[in-house]
Amino acid sequence: MAAAVVESVQCFGRKKTAVAVGHCKRGRGLIKVNGVPIELVKPEILRLKQSKKEIKDILVRYDRTLLVADPRRCEPKRFGGRGARARFQKSYR
């Protein structure tokens, strides 16, 4: 029996609660990222076709946040002020 051919591949990227999804399928050979041709994508290192480990090492040296999720979240507002940390001004008279 012949090996099954993969029709399409998906890749995911996350930042805070946003999720970016990349689809790859058989076509004309035009590569687009978020609807933009890959020739316009910066940094240029993202365009290279290399092994996963080499790409990962290069991206970590360039900017670690491209691979690691950002854990920062918005703090909830609490009573006694306009935001999470700000307090209303105190009056003694």
The pLDDT tens digits of the residues spanning 69-78 come to 777 888 999 9
Please, what's the largest Cα pairwise distance for the chain?
A: 88
| pLDDT of 80 over the 90 cut | yes
Predicted TM-score of the model (pTM): 0.31
pLDDT score, position 81: 93
Torsion, Cα of 60, 64, 69, 75 (10° steps)? 170
User: What does the chain come to in residues?
Assistant: 93
Residue in the block written with tokens 């609660």 = 17
List % helix, strand, coil for the chain (3-state, nearest 5).
25, 20, 55
Q: What is the mean pLDDT of the chain?
A: 76
